[in-house]
Amino acid sequence: MTDAFFSTAEEPAGKTSQTPAIGRPTEEELRQGIELLFFAYRDFTADPDSILEELGFGRAHHRVIHFLGRNPEITIGDLLVLLRITKQSLNRVLRALLAGGFVGQRTGTRDRRQRHLYLTESGAALEARLSMPQKDRVSKAFVEAGPNAVAGFKKVLAALLDPQERDRVLKAINRP
């Protein structure tokens, strides 16, 4: 079996590599999609790294900052669910951000065990600075590819999400 998974000669002559109108995508097309996603995501994530390095932060800090920007007053527990990491992993990152004055926390009023996190002014400034190159890249890509392509891009990415959580995630992304 599998003597050449990515072999060039896997399709009979006469057929092309195009997606059939209704059937399953070809092996070739799937592989291309997978690799494209890999490379595009790699370039996409490479953008903010140099800024983070200046501050001695890593991508974990970036993620926290991003989601805090999007979800002000989120509790630790909810942030853990969102990031899908452990409390201990978050802790180190969060401590650094608190110490650096990028993030603040307030004790919950309804439940005083909870800590509500938020970006400080400098935290928000950092968020803006970090997201700038990514927004720039995505913006250029959207403009270049055109609105129709962008719609397809979003549609496919949405379909790639875990079906179980798709609605939840899309709702979170798409809220006003």
**Nearest residue to 29 via CA among 2, 151, 37:** 37
Asked if 3 is part of the footprint of its own copies (rule: CB under 8 A), the reply reads yes
Judged by CB under 7 A, does residue 61 bind DNA?
yes
Which among 15-23, 30-38, 112-120, 148-156 is the span making contact with DNA, rule CB under 7 A? 112-120
Q: Encode burial over 48-64: b for 16+ CB neighbours within 10 A, e otherwise.
A: beeebeeeebeebbbbb
Amino acid at the residue 2: T
Task: Name residues contacting DNA, limited to 66-95 (CB under 7 A).
Answer: 75-78, 80, 84-89, 91-95
Is 128 an interacting residue with respect to its own copies (CB under 8 A)?
yes
Q: What is the DSSP string of 118-160?
A: EE-HHHHHHHHHHHHHHHHHHHHHHHHH-HHHHHHHHHHHHHH
- What is the distance between the alpha carbons of residues 36 and 8, in angstroms, rounded to a whole number? 18
> Within 64-93, which residues bind its own copies (CB under 8 A)?
69-70, 84
Which of its own copies, DNA, none interacts with 150 (beta carbon under 5 to 8 A by kind)? its own copies
Binder of its own copies out of 44, 51, 85, 118 (CB under 8 A): 44
Closer residue to DNA in complex, CB, 95/129: 95
